[in-house]
Structure 1
Amino acid sequence: MDEKYYNDIKNFIDEHFDVVPTWLMKKAYYNEENMNDLYEMTVSDDGPDSMLPDREVMYVSKDAEMDKFITENVEKVSKMGFRIFQIDVEDRILLGSDQWQINDKGQTFYEASVAPLMEAFNSYQNQVEDYSAVEEIKAEISKSSVEENRDVDTNKNSRKNLAK
């Protein structure tokens, strides 16, 4: 992986996630009081070995747009190697992984999981922006057609007034 791409991935993480040690999440949610506040959404063929992922850090989403993307794409994000949790009390999304450094394909965690997440999220954002642009154009066309109809009505009334 080239250095620029690696930096893009690091910037993506910094922009969209807070990095939290897994041990801290275990401390916060491995007690009877808070155990029900954490819900795993991951789509997986086999069950996990533990309640929380093995990797030393977890990623708490910083923004609602990332939360929306992940909740709309749970299966896709799960297949990227993430375990997905929802923190009910804060209504936040938490990502973790059981992959440590290098997977069986010789890929780092960043190559195998974070890079595909970054690319999928960027694609999602572009689609949302494209949709917004289409909606703006539709609104502009609708506004123009209302104005044209008003102009036509005004012209008809002007002709009637001239005929009198």
Structure 2
Amino acid sequence: MRYLFEDYAFDTDLRELHRGADVVFVAPQVFDLLEYLIRNRERVASKDDLINAIWNGRIVSDAALTTRLNAARSAIGDSGQEQRLIKTLPRKGFRFVGTVREAQTASVAVTDIPAQQPKPALTLPDKPSVAVLPFTNLSSDPEQDYFADGVVEDIISGFA
């Protein structure tokens, strides 16, 4: 399901939040919190409701819930002062108060990017492969750079 509000698209199937054409990073618990509030926007969600839904009833501090709420507000351009989308009702709970339109995931395009052709599947080699990445000289002595390079070369030549 895709929920549209302001210039955001909240896609529960892809677990993505879009603002226009940009994807907004949202931590998993913050995403779950937003999803719960949006799905239950017709009522006030208590702290207990949120803890049961997001943390599966585990005991968490009020600070953990407050942190996730602040992150959710930040992700959708809201704040605790403004509360134009997520409203705090003192001693009652929280409610998503923004105007939301529901759309099926496949029917609404968020961006104007044309559909890309599917890429061919990568083929696996017949034998195992190992990638050896360059090492970094962590000492403050630039004359030790050769040592980091030498270790990589030794590992590569050991596989040959």
State whether TM-score is above 0.5: no
- TM range, normalised to the smaller chain? under 0.3
- TM (normalized to structure 1)? 0.24
Higher Rg: 1
- TM (normalized to structure 2)? 0.25
